[in-house]
Amino acid sequence: MLLFTHPVCIRHSAGAGHPESPQRLAQVLAALDGLRDLPIEWREAPRATREQLLLAHTPALVSSILDVAIEQQHRIDDDTAMNADSPEAARHAAGAVVAAIDAVMAGEAKRAFCAVRPPGHHATRAQAMGFCLFNSVAVGAAHALVQHGVKRVAIVDFDVHHGNGSQDIFWNDPRVMYLSSHQSPLYPYTGEPHERGAGNILNLPLPEGACGEELREVYRRDALPALDAFRPELVLVSAGFDGHRLDPLAGLNLEATDYAWLTWELMAIADRHAHGRLVSALEGGYSLTALRECSLAHVRALAEAELVAA
């Protein structure tokens, strides 16, 4: 498998004390460095081009991130801010997903993980919000549709917060299935089951306190059959690990083993319908301990699948 990252992603900062801190990615990369015995090829993420960003975002949003003069801090809203390195970090985060998709579509690998920040799934077509500047997974999905002629892309989002941005961008696009499991009610207070788009949106809200067995039942009963019926040619994952029981910003009770189970199930979907092609990108996760454990479990599963296939 491939792992894409870039040093500038650690230099992005939304301000002192912000939960989406540089230390998050530093901890993930330190944990993943311990997997050097597994078949993981590390690659430096390129920058997304403006043209690639415009596949998912309005010109006004792209300009508001890339063309603003920043000396120390530029605040977008109460939760979302940039420093001077943030525009480049956001470009490389999106560029990682684009490059990962190019690689799996070219047959260079079946699976890839993008260890990047800022996260992306709250960024709508026209608005940066919720710690997110560009929606990296949405940019990648749009790129797959346009550049690779993929007819069916599935985005599976297991971040504890609903990915309102991904839902917004693909609301009326039946080529993209957006499937989200998330705590409800919780920020951004979207993601109810009746939000269906063009029939391509599947929201699976979980109550506060839900544990791993409840998550697994929802996937066995609803999510996995829906993905099988959709038959995606490419599976993209918004991999947020803030559903872990230690996370300070939410209230689910998941464990690292639940994320490993879910990773194997999504790889099975990709194997059945997409020649194994799966690209995952880091989203949320704000307990450093949990983020280390869960990202390690997720990427270990992706890499161990290579050994099983061999």
pLDDT single digits (tens) 162-205? 999 999 999 999 999 999 999 999 999 999 999 999 999 999 99
Rounded to an integer, the average pLDDT of 61-76 is: 94
Give Cβ neighbours of residue 74 (< 8 Å, ≥ 6 apart): 68, 81, 82, 83, 86
- 8-state DSSP, 225: H
* Choice among 122, 143, 162, 182 that is catalytic: 122
User: What pLDDT was estimated at residue 72?
Assistant: 84
Other beta carbons within 10 Å of 30: 11
User: Who's near 175: CB < 8 A, 6+ residues apart?
Assistant: 145, 150, 151, 152, 153, 200
Q: Which phi-psi region, left, alpha or beta, contains residue 64 (left: φ > 0; alpha: ψ -120 to 50)?
A: alpha
Which residue's structure tokens are 């697994």?
A: 216
310 pLDDT more than 70: no
Q: Where are the domains of the chain?
A: 2-309
Q: Which residue has the tokens 């693909």?
A: 170
Would you say 270 and 150 are in contact if contact means Cβ atoms under 8 Å apart? no
Contact (CB, 8 A) for 226 and 199: no
Averaged pLDDT of the chain: 97
β-pair partners for 248: none
CATH of 2-309, one of 3.40.800.20, 3.30.1360.30, 3.10.20.30, 3.20.20.140: 3.40.800.20
DSSP designation for 246: T
Q: Give mean pLDDT, residues 75-82.
A: 96
CB 250 within 8 A of CB 188: no
Output b/e per residue, 221-234; b: 16+ Cβ within 10 A: eebbeebeebebbb
Residue range 219-254, pLDDT digits in tens: 999 999 999 999 999 999 999 999 999 999 999 999
Q: How confident is the model at residue 306 (pLDDT cuts 50, 70, 90)?
A: confident
Asked whether the predicted pLDDT for residue 308 surpasses 80, the reply is no
Alpha helices in the chain (DSSP H): 8-11, 22-32, 50-53, 59-66, 86-105, 136-147, 164-169, 212-218, 224-230, 256-273, 288-309
Q: Does the annotation mark 182 as catalytic?
A: no
Identify the pLDDT of residue 196: 98
Q: What contacts 141, CB < 8 A, 6 or more positions away?
A: 56, 153, 155, 170, 176, 234, 236
> Two tokens at 27?
């901890």
